[in-house]
Amino acid sequence: DIQMTQSPSSLSASVGDRVTITCRASQSINRNLNWYQQKPGKAPKLLIFAAFSLQSGAPSRFSGSGYGTDFTLTISSLQPEDFATYYCQQSYSTPRTFGQGTKLDMK
């Protein structure tokens, strides 16, 4: 199985901050990397697919980058509705695997 490791596991930030979350795969996954946002009691929502493509309806302040084993999710200017948990997920092979999550809360 491909292991996905996110850092940090938790992060405190303020509205307007630029925030970066990283995800590392245990082997190369090309650009087969997706990012999701999950709020308490809700299903995850797809934000970014194929490493850097913005899902329809996702705000443009979210962006993704990376290739191979190292990937980044950036929120350019944090909004109040962005406080949530973020997960990366590889779609290079089965079993599909997720990172452990990064909880973003208000400083």
Q: Which residues bind another protein (CB under 8 A)?
A: 1, 32, 34, 36, 42-46, 49-50, 53, 55, 87, 89, 91, 94-101
Query: Rg (Cα) of the chain, in Å, rounded?
Result: 13
CB of 91 to another protein, least distance (A): 4
Angstrom distance (rounded) from CA 92 to CA 73: 18
CB of 75 to another protein, least distance (A): 19
Among residues 5 and 17, whose Cβ is nearest to another protein? 5
Pick 62 or 87: Cβ nearer another protein:
87
Cβ neighbours of residue 35 closer than 8 Å, sequence gap 6 or more: 23, 46, 47, 48, 62, 64, 73, 86, 87, 88, 89
